[in-house]
Amino acid sequence: MSAEAARGSRPPVVEMRAVSKDYRLGKATVAALRDVDLEVRPGDFTVLAGPSGSGKTTLLNLAGLIDEPTDGAVRFDGEDTVRCGAGRLSGLRRDRIGFIFQMFNLVPVLSLFENVEYPLILAGCPRAERRRRVRDALSKVGLGDRFRHRPSELSGGERQRAAIARAVVKAPALVLADEPTANLDSANGAAVLGLMERLNREDGVTFLFSSHDPRIIAAGRRVVRLRDGRVESVEDGGGRP
């Protein structure tokens, strides 16, 4: 499905209303997010920008149902997650959300194939279908000839592409990425970004990711700028047409 077709009239994948997040450190309270409204729609390609400490990771953790807000509402696919129990939240994370990390976070003792297969095993996907989907995901990221390699036998750019394959293999409703290009040189960073764009355009994969890099930020179709835990601006229509 194209990104355009994926958007349409379906409810937002993530909807945050008046969300605040405080962290308590001893007697001090850090207001990491204040009164944030955010919508992520199916097919979006949204980048979170903002200086260090502005709340990007905190916001991604809330969107990924890894953490819960101090105040406000977080809906996932229309479901009020503040009312969900821990079992339901972990089910949503397992089945509906893909994560890409700055440090790649591949399992070192597993082959590339096994790393990408792992989320499908957790999801109870049958073996023959797993093989097909893992092969498909790895060839999509240009690693179709690296199945047996361990992560340590891959370059940084290849590791991040493998992590992208792992994030998209279960066809999640949302892929979250916290500074996915921060540990890559500019050529590999551009390749990873190009791959994310292609998955968005061709397969309708919905991305919400953060970056410090002005070139990466410029590619976001929607740019949400955070400052001191608040949404400073939302720019639509940037990036490619």
Ligand X SMILES: Nc1ncnc2c1ncn2[C@@H]1O[C@H](COP(=O)(O)OP(=O)(O)OP(=O)(O)O)[C@@H](O)[C@H]1O
Using the rule CB under 5 A, is 57 a contact of Mg ion?
Answer: yes
SS3 content of the chain, % helix, strand, coil (to 5): 40, 25, 35
Using the rule CB under 5 A, is 58 a contact of Mg ion?
Answer: no
For the bound state, the minimum distance from the C-beta of residue 204 to ligand X, rounded and expressed in Å, comes to 27
Which H or E run includes 128?
A: helix 127-140
When the beta carbons of 54 and 115 are compared against ligand X, the nearer one is: 54
For the bound state, the minimum distance from the C-beta of residue 13 to Mg ion, rounded and expressed in Å, comes to 21
For the chain, the residue count is 241
Using the rule CB under 5 A, is 54 a contact of Mg ion?
Answer: no
When the beta carbons of 6 and 59 are compared against Mg ion, the nearer one is: 59
Which range, of 23-31, 53-61, 81-89, 157-165, touches Mg ion by CB under 5 A? 53-61
* DSSP state at residue 154: S
Partner from Mg ion, ligand X, none binding residue 46, C-beta < 5-8 Å depending on class:
none
Evaluate whether 68 touches 93 at the Cβ level (below 8 Å).
no
When the beta carbons of 55 and 72 are compared against ligand X, the nearer one is: 55
When the beta carbons of 41 and 56 are compared against Mg ion, the nearer one is: 56
Beta strands in 41-122 (DSSP E): 45-49, 71-76, 79-80, 97-100
Q: Which residues bind ligand X (CB under 6 A)?
A: 23, 25, 30, 32, 50, 52-58
48, 56, 72, 134, 211 from 179: Cα distances, Å: 9, 9, 25, 24, 5
Residues in Cβ contact with 168 at an 8 Å cutoff, skipping those fewer than 6 apart? 98, 137, 140, 175, 199, 203, 205
Partner from ligand X, Mg ion, none binding residue 52, C-beta < 5-8 Å depending on class:
ligand X
Q: In this structure, what token pair is assigned to residue 111? A: 């082959």
For the bound state, the minimum distance from the C-beta of residue 78 to Mg ion, rounded and expressed in Å, comes to 28
When the beta carbons of 57 and 81 are compared against ligand X, the nearer one is: 57
Q: How many residues bind Mg ion (CB under 5 A)?
A: 2
How far apart (Å, rounded) are the C-alpha atoms in residues 173 and 92?
10
**Residues contributing to the site for Mg ion (CB under 5 A):** 56-57
